[in-house]
Amino acid sequence: MKRVAVVGASLAGVRAAQELRAQGYDGGVVLIGDEPHLPYDRPPLSKGFLAGTTSRESLDLLDAGDLAALALDFRLGVRATALEPADRRVLLSDGTSVHADGVVIATGGRARTLPGFEGAHTLRTLDDACALRAALVPGARVVIVGAGFIGAEVASTCRSLGLDVVVLEALAAPLEPVLGPELAAVCARLHLDHGTDLRCGVQVSGVSPAGVELASGALVPADVVVTGVGMTPSTEWLAGSGLQVGNGVHTDTGLVTDLPQVVAVGDVARYGGRRHEHWTNASEQAPVAVANLLAGHSARTYLPSGYVWSDQYSGTLQLAGHPRPGDTLSYVDGDPSSSSFVATFSRDGATVGVFALNNAKLFNRLRRQALRRPAVV
């Protein structure tokens, strides 16, 4: 293999490029990114960077030493527009193309928008974060649609800036389908304890200059509106490539697509029918995908740790595993009314998930010891 094109220059793409070198590949690596920026880390965008306490420089995924050592051929500020496997080419939005024997698809996705909310802020990219930060002036009334991780973290940051915040959530409680009603209530309490006006079971209909309009006809006044309602995988550019797409690019359990010289990693990768939108997943997939790309077949299987974290207000939330509704929740330490607790999810006598609020030590112990075996679908 003489040249590998890594399409997508965020965490998953960068990790793939690093893994190529770490696994001894010394051919060319072209790293294609549609944003003009060198690769940066996204988690602080809703937290310290938005609050102004984390510097732009600290977001960089690669420092000067890394850049020199990796010897990447960057194509930044251009989008991949097509993959032509027969010609081994990736076409780019500036009219150029990249010849590559191997391709790593790491195009992630874009923030989903709601009909009627055109022009509202979303938060996925550095530019999004800069635009939102500029809007968070003293006295601004902030309304956030969606109480998932992004919405909750933005709400938390806005409160730390002293702003009035309303969070509108369609579900009965934040993250209820993921965490179940008891832990969802904990997430709701975090909002209320810190002065955020969380309103659940609310349907929104659109944004107006005065604020957010609800399906009920009511208006929630706002100066700044942020939607945090998930993301859409970026696969449009793969139309005509012959690859299976649909809620991500489809791969086997080793992250290899129908073409052995094309693998996928990160938010866009739908492996064995599953797709995750998390930092850890984007980071952990690269070693497997790259090994399989270099081997020419799916020699290794990806086993997700299912680890996610979120910093909200005074709390660090951690979740590992893949709990489902109906799993049995048990408190190992503390209880849901305390400021620090650890709970496990069990199913058929096996621990399938661990959740912690402000107890990283016990969380990691259980994650390693109780959850040692990988989740089996």
Partner 1 sequence: MIRACTVDELPPGESVRIPGSPAIAVFNTEDGELYAIDDTCTHQDASLADGWLEGCFVECPLHAALFDLRTGMPTCLPAKEPVRTYSVVVDDGVIYVQGVAAEDAA
Question: Whole-number minimum distance, CB 361 to partner 1, in Å?
Answer: 4
Question: Whole-number minimum distance, CB 44 to partner 1, in Å?
Answer: 7
Q: Which residues contact 338 (CB under 8 A, 6 or more apart)?
A: none
**CB nearer to partner 1: pick between 329 and 360:** 360
Tokens 């923030």, residue?
Answer: 111
Question: Whole-number minimum distance, CB 307 to partner 1, in Å?
Answer: 8
Question: Whole-number minimum distance, CB 309 to partner 1, in Å?
Answer: 6
Residue 283 contacts partner 1 per CB under 8 A? yes
**CB nearer to partner 1: pick between 244 and 364:** 364
Q: Among the candidate windows 193-201, 223-231, 336-344, 362-370, which touches partner 1 by CB under 8 A?
A: 362-370
Report the Cα–Cα distance between both ends of the chain, in Å, rounded.
34
* Distance, C-alpha 179 to centroid of its chain: 17
Residue 227 contacts partner 1 per CB under 8 A? no
Q: Among the candidate windows 194-202, 242-250, 278-286, 319-327, which touches partner 1 by CB under 8 A?
A: 278-286
Report d(CA 371, CA 22) in Å as an integer.
Answer: 28
Site for partner 1 in 141-180 (CB under 8 A): none
**CB nearer to partner 1: pick between 216 and 338:** 338
Q: Binding residue for partner 1 (CB under 8 A) from 240, 368, 373, 374?
A: 368
* Strand ranges across the sheet with 3-7: 73-76, 28-33, 3-7, 102-105, 262-264
Site for partner 1 in 7-66 (CB under 8 A): 15, 18, 41, 43-44, 48, 63
Q: Among the candidate windows 114-122, 170-178, 279-287, 347-355, which touches partner 1 by CB under 8 A?
A: 279-287
**CB nearer to partner 1: pick between 99 and 361:** 361
**CB nearer to partner 1: pick between 58 and 208:** 58
Question: Whole-number minimum distance, CB 210 to partner 1, in Å?
Answer: 38
Question: Whole-number minimum distance, CB 8 to partner 1, in Å?
Answer: 17
User: How many chain residues bind partner 1 (CB under 8 A)?
Assistant: 20
Site for partner 1 in 296-335 (CB under 8 A): 307, 309, 316, 318
Q: Among the candidate windows 83-91, 150-158, 275-283, 328-336, which touches partner 1 by CB under 8 A?
A: 275-283
Q: Binding residue for partner 1 (CB under 8 A) from 205, 244, 253, 280?
A: 280
- Nearest partner of 229 among 154, 146, 289, judged by Cα: 146
Q: Binding residue for partner 1 (CB under 8 A) from 130, 214, 231, 360?
A: 360
Binding mask 59-98 for partner 1 (x = CB under 8 A): ----x-----------------------------------
Sign of the alpha-carbon dihedral angle for 334, 336, 341, 343: positive
Binding site for partner 1 (CB under 8 A): 15, 18, 41, 43-44, 48, 63, 279-280, 283, 307, 309, 316, 318, 360-361, 363-365, 368
